[in-house]
Amino acid sequence: MAAKLADAVERGKRPERPMDLALAEAEGAGARGEVPVGAVVLGPDGAVLARAGNRTLELRDPSAHAELLAIRAACAALQSERLIDCDLYVSLEPCAMCAAAISFARIRRLYFGASDPKGGGVEHGARVFDQPTCHHAPEVYGGIGESAAAALLKGFFAARR
Ligand SMILES: [Zn+2]
């Protein structure tokens, strides 16, 4: 259902529930055999700038996490290395690498779904935004659409066992 909704929402439109788009990207990543994580970047006007799912296997790139791909695409769309007043929605708590990129990109608000005690770098592990070496921390809102994001991941890893 989320995928259908996402298909109806094209780049440049203002989604009512951006996390649904991130979840649809996560579903798509899962269907490609990737860890099901998806991300969406909204511009200052609330319109979709970029959306992406994990592509680490497909691109043979350990940095091809959904957040990084979405940030790169949004920067390309804005022709800027900074995403001032832009917000990022991601289905899972970002890892330390992505949290650092979110900081460098000057993302305004980070909304994430499921918490990730094993690999997260926002509320767990490195807690990147809490470090004195972090020069820009976004506002962080966790637990958005958490149950759907967690169910996707659970189903994915259950199928692999
Ligand atoms: Zn990451």
pLDDT tens by residue, 20-29: 999 999 999 9
Task: Give residue 89 CA to ligand 1 midpoint distance, Å.
Answer: 13
Calpha distance 73→147 (Å, rounded): 27
Q: What is the pLDDT of residues 72-130, one digit of tens each?
A: 999 999 999 999 999 999 999 999 999 999 999 999 999 999 999 999 999 999 999 99
Q: Is the separation of the CB atoms in 110 and 88 below 8 Å?
A: yes
CA distance 93 to 142: 8
The encoded tokens of residue 110 equal 């980070």
Catalytic residue among 27, 34, 67, 93: 67
Secondary structure of residue 141 in the 3-state scheme: strand
Q: Does 67 participate in catalysis according to the annotation? A: yes
Specify the amino acid at residue 16: E
- From ligand 1's centre to the CA of 17, what distance in Å? 22
Give me the amino acid identity at 100. A
User: Do residues 135 and 103 lie in contact, with contact meaning Cβ atoms separated by under 8 Å?
Assistant: yes
